[in-house]
Structure 1
């Protein structure tokens, strides 16, 4: 699962190796035994970015059929923490950086125009199954 944290027209991202061509991605991860989706998202965002969040709306569900993965993405609001205070060893892929990126700069980091548009518009159709990740421009 992943989090969309938009603050003052900027999106919270982390820089690490991904399965995609771009190196900047949304914070998130997998459930641990006994966790709810909300608990896992709060933990993952804190571990990967140092930011404490409150979980908001379900934004979308997407799938990656080849990898047998369902992507669940929630809106989240920052409630505290320190950007970049990353939990060492919490992620299997080293995190090189964490920052809020202006929505206008996302295309230069490899995010599609469709994804930027959805961020700007507040994800119309929130809570929907969107099909493959490409349907939201990821």
Structure 2
């Protein structure tokens, strides 16, 4: 599960090693036993970015069949915390940096124009199944 926080034309990302070609990604992670989706996203956002969030609308659901993963992505709003106050050891891959990145700079970080357009347009069709991750350009 991942969270998307967009403020003033900038999106909250973290820099860490991933399974894909880019190192910058959306914050998020797995749901632990006994957690709701909302509780898991609030915890993951705090652990990975230091930001406290309020979970908003469901943006999309997509799958990554080779990895046997279903991605559920929610809109989130920053309500507190201290950006960059990453909990050491909370993630199996060290987080090098947490930053708000201009939407116009996403392509240079390996995000597709499809994903950038979705961010700029406010995720039309929010709450729907989008098919494979590649359908949203991830």
Q: Which residue of 2 aligns with 1:75?
A: 75
CA distance in 2, matches of 1:76, 1:32: 19
- Residues paired across the two proteins, number: 138
What is the root-mean-square deviation of aligned Cα atoms in Å? 0.4
Which whole-Å CA distance do the structure 1 matches of 2:58 and 2:34 have between them?
A: 20
TM normalised by structure 1 equals: 0.99
Aligned-partner Cα distance in 2 for 1:105–1:68: 30
1:87: how far off? 0.3
Aligned to 1:118: 118
Q: What do the CA deviations read for 1:10-49 (whole angstroms, capped 9, x no partner)?
A: 0000000001100000000001111000000000000000
C-alpha distance in 1 between matches for 2:109 and 2:127: 26
Structure 2, unmatched stretches of 5+, are none
Is structure 2 residue 94 aligned with structure 1 residue 94? yes
| Runs of 4 or more above 2 Å deviation | none
Task: Summarize deviations over 1:78-134 as a string: whole Å, max 9, x none.
Answer: 001111000010000000000000000000000000100000000000000000000
| Unaligned stretches of 5+ residues in structure 1 | none
TM-score (ref. length: structure 2): 0.99
